[in-house]
C-alpha cells in the first residue's frame, strides 16, 4: 500500500504532502492521546461509516511534534502495517475509526491524527479546542483521558530515555508507556488502555472500583515480558 493511500481517511479534506525532513525525532519523544467523551451514545447500538456496530464512541487526538510517529502509530493500529521509507508529514488533520470490543461493549474510537509541524498549529488548535482543551478547562481534567507515549522504542538512536519519559509523565500526572509503530510494540495496548478507561468512566457501576490505566498497562506489559519491572 502506498504511503499516500495509507494515511488518507474517509471524511478528511486534507491529504499528506511530502516533507524533506528525516524520520528521527527532535527533542520530543511524545505522542499524547487525549480523548474527549463528547461522542457518547449509550442508549442503543449505532452503526459506524465502515458498517460496524458500536455501543459508545469517543474522539481521540494524537498530538506531538512533527516526526515522532503519530501517523505511523495510527496506521499500525488501524491496518497493522508500518509506513517505512521517506517521511511524509501530515498536512492539517485527518482521522480514522476503529471499533474495539471492551468487556463485551463495542467502543468506537474516532482517532484524529494532527500535523506536528509548527505551520499547521492554527489549524490543529481549532480541533484541539473542540476535542479536549475546552473540556480540560471546564471539567478540570476529570472528563479527559491523557496518556503520554514514547514512540520509536525500537530505535538504537534514542532522542529520549525511557526514564525521562516516565519522569515527565509523573510531573504531568499522566500514564506513560513506550511504543513502536515499527515493530508494533504496545500499540494495540496503548489504544486499548485508553478505550478501557473511557468505557469504565462512562459505564461504571457505582460500587465498581476505578479503572487504573497505568496499573493495567504495566500488568499487560509484564505478562508480555516487556519493559517495566
Ligand X SMILES: Nc1nc2c(ncn2[C@@H]2O[C@H](COP(=O)(O)OP(=O)(O)OP(=O)(O)O)[C@@H](O)[C@H]2O)c(=O)[nH]1
Pairwise CA distance, residues 76 & 185, whole Å: 10
Which of 60, 61, 100, 181 forms a contact with ligand X (CB under 6 A)? 181
Q: What are phi and psi of 129, to 5 degrees?
A: -60, -45
Distance (Å, whole) CA 94 – CA 107: 20
Confirm or reject binding of residue 110 to ligand X (CB under 6 A): no
How many residues at the interface with ligand X, by CB under 6 A? 24
- Cα separation of 169 and 184, whole Å? 22
Residue 52: which of ligand X, Mg ion, none does it interact with, CB under 5 to 8 A by kind?
A: none
72 touches ligand X by CB under 6 A: yes
- Burial of 115 from C-beta contacts in 10 A (0-12 / 13-18 / 19+): buried
- Name which position in 25, 36, 37, 71 contacts Mg ion (CB under 5 A): 71
**Residue 180 touches which member of Mg ion, ligand X, none, C-beta under 5-8 Å by kind:** ligand X
Interaction with ligand X in 193-212: which residues (CB under 6 A)? Answer: none
Residue range at the interface with ligand X (CB under 6 A); choices 128-136, 159-167, 180-188, 205-213:
180-188
Angstrom distance (rounded) from CA 53 to CA 46: 6
For 132, the grid coordinates are 479536549
Q: 35 is in the binding site of which of Mg ion, ligand X, none (Cβ under 5 to 8 A by kind)?
A: none
Query: Could you give the CA distance from residue 46 to residue 215 in angstroms, rounded to a whole number?
Result: 31
Instruction: Compare residues 34 and 57 and give the one whose CB is closer to ligand X.
Output: 34
Cβ nearer to ligand X, comparing 66 with 110: 66
Please tell me whether residue 165 binds ligand X under the rule CB under 6 A.
no
From the CB of 225, what's the least distance to ligand X, in Å? 19
Count other Cβ atoms within 10 Å, centred on residue 106. 18
Q: What is the DSSP letter of 83?
A: -
Residues that bind Mg ion (CB under 5 A): 70-71, 90
Amino acid at each position: 500500500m502506498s504511503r499516500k493511500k495509507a494515511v488518507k481517511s474517509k471524511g478528511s479534506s486534507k491529504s499528506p504532502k511530502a516533507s524533506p525532513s528525516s524520520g528521527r525525532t527532535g527533542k520530543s519523544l511524545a505522542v499524547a492521546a487525549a480523548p474527549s467523551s463528547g461522542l457518547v451514545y449509550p442508549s442503543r447500538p449505532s452503526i459506524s461509516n465502515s458498517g460496524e456496530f458500536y455501543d459508545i464512541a469517543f474522539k481521540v487526538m494524537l498530538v506531538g511534534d512533527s516526526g515522532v510517529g503519530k501517523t505511523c502509530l495510527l496506521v499500525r493500529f488501524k491496518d497493522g502495517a508500518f509506513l517505512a521509507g521517506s517521511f511524509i508529514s501530515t498536512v492539517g488533520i485527518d482521522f480514522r475509526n476503529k471499533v474495539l470490543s471492551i468487556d463485551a461493549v463495542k467502543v468506537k474510537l474516532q482517532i484524529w491524527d494532527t500535523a506536528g509541524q509548527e505551520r499547521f498549529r492554527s489549524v490543529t488548535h481549532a480541533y484541539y479546542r473542540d476535542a479536549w482543551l475546552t473540556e480540560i478547562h471546564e471539567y478540570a481534567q476529570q472528563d479527559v483521558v491523557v496518556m503520554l507515549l514514547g514512540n520509536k522504542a525500537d530505535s538504537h538512536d534514542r532522542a529520549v530515555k525511557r526514564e525521562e519519559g516516565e519522569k515527565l509523565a509523573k510531573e504531568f500526572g499522566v500514564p506513560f508507556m513506550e511504543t513502536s509503530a515499527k515493530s508494533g510494540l504496545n500499540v494495540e495496548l496503548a489504544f486499548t488502555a485508553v478505550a478501557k478507561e473511557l468505557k469504565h468512566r462512562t459505564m461504571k457501576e457505582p460500587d465498581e472500583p476505578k479503572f487504573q490505566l497505568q496499573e493495567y498497562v504495566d500488568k499487560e506489559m509484564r505478562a508480555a515480558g516487556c519493559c517495566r519491572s
